[in-house]
Amino acid sequence: MEALWFALAAVMVAAYVVMDGFDFGAGALHLAVARSDRERRQVLAAIGPYWDGNEVWLLAAGGVLFLAFPKVLASGLSGFYLAIFLLLWVLILRGASIELRSHVTDGMWRSFWDGVFFLASALAPVLLGAALGNVLRGVPVRADGWFALPLWESFSPRGALGILDWYTVLCGVTALVAILHHGALFLAWKTDGEVRARSVRLAGVFFPALVALWLLATLATARLTPAIFRALGERPLAWLATVIFLAGLSASFVARKKGNDLAAFIGSSAFLLGVLAASAASVYPTWLESTLDPSFSLTATNSAAGAYSLRVGLYWWPVGFVLALVYFTILFRFHRGKAQAAAEGEGY
């Protein structure tokens, strides 16, 4: 039962990264792909129907942890206190910039919120990527199950640990480039004209940078945490996930070259899903690896809720998951086709 809930939590996190990832990517790119006010409103129209609904997956991931692994959620919220507040501010500012930008027609007002939208959208994947780096690297969990990390300390993953060091920053930058590539492919699919053309060109720029950073991050992970790669070679699910993300990365390149924007975006989605699934399969059953003593680590076994809670929760989780899938299926179908900028005063 604990293994199943571990997998469900990983699914929720992966769904959030894929779905909200294209919003973040579009926001971080909109100053580059959209030069006029109409083009920027076209970018907002492309993500407008989805961005707030996409954040539900983050709430779902937190809900799964609250239900199934409350010790992990409590320890993580405490230990990553500063980083979580930074992420919350980023999410708040991202939403505020989308909603407030077009309330006033003044150019300075709109330029200010355009800048906030860019900054918040670019910082979010960096923070989330650094969070993944912390999980892979390990944190100083004590015997009582708690830890605390400053924003940075020695800036070394082997010295005095902070949330940021060269390894977690590398993971954050890799995540940013992956999300920029993902967002560019989404905009290529959902927009037309110059915005689409610029998005396709930028996707071509980000692809080799993504491959290089992914290889570099993989080598750094193998050096710092060789146990993860030993587990990768021993677990069929990890191998399957590896095949999925390699196939997705290849498909995103080939489809983009052929002008198949939807297939390229689906390939990028498969890449993100596969990377996260391979990571989850490789670290299982550990949620938070203790750098002080492996016996202090929080795992799916020693941090799970009671068997009754897990069993009852399993009755309700499929209902919510199916409803979410139906909702997003209808949403994407209803808003199929290319997004167009709304008339002034009638939307984003």
**Is the pLDDT confidence value at 157 over 80?**
yes
Residue 345 lies in a domain: no
Residue 347 lies in a domain: no
Residue 276 lies in a domain: yes
Q: 65-82, pLDDT tens digit by residue?
A: 999 999 999 999 999 999
Q: 196-227, pLDDT tens digit by residue?
A: 999 999 999 999 999 999 999 999 999 999 98
Rounded Cα distance between 61 and 52, Å, is: 15
Residue 269 lies in a domain: yes
Residue 340 lies in a domain: no
Residue 344 lies in a domain: no
Residue 98 lies in a domain: yes
**Is the pLDDT confidence value at 234 over 90?**
no
Q: 243-294, pLDDT tens digit by residue?
A: 999 999 999 999 999 999 999 999 999 999 999 999 999 999 999 999 999 9
- Asked if residues 287 and 303 have their Cβ atoms less than 8 Å apart, the reply is yes
| Residue 69, pLDDT score | 97
Rounded Cα distance between 161 and 132, Å, is: 15
| Residue 126, pLDDT score | 97
Running DSSP on this structure, what letter comes out for residue 234? H
Rounded Cα distance between 1 and 12, Å, is: 17
Taking residues 138-146, report their average pLDDT: 95
Q: 172-194, pLDDT tens digit by residue?
A: 999 999 999 999 999 999 999 99
- Asked if residues 83 and 151 have their Cβ atoms less than 8 Å apart, the reply is yes
Running DSSP on this structure, what letter comes out for residue 338? -
54-to-59, 108, 257, 335 alpha-carbon distances in Å: 10, 29, 28, 15
CATH number for position 45: 1.20.1630.10
Partnered with residue 152 across adjacent β-strands are 164
**Is the pLDDT confidence value at 342 over 80?**
no
Residue 339 lies in a domain: no
Q: How many domains does the chain have?
A: 1
Strand ranges inside the chain, DSSP E: 286-288, 298-299
For the chain, count helices (H), then strands (E). 13, 2
pTM for the model stands at 0.96
**Is the pLDDT confidence value at 345 over 70?**
no
Q: Which domain holds residue 24?
A: 2-334
How many angstroms separate the first and last alpha carbons of the chain?
45
- Percentage of the chain with pLDDT > 70? 99
Mean pLDDT, all residues of the chain: 94
pLDDT band at 30 (very low <50, low <70, confident <90, very high): very high
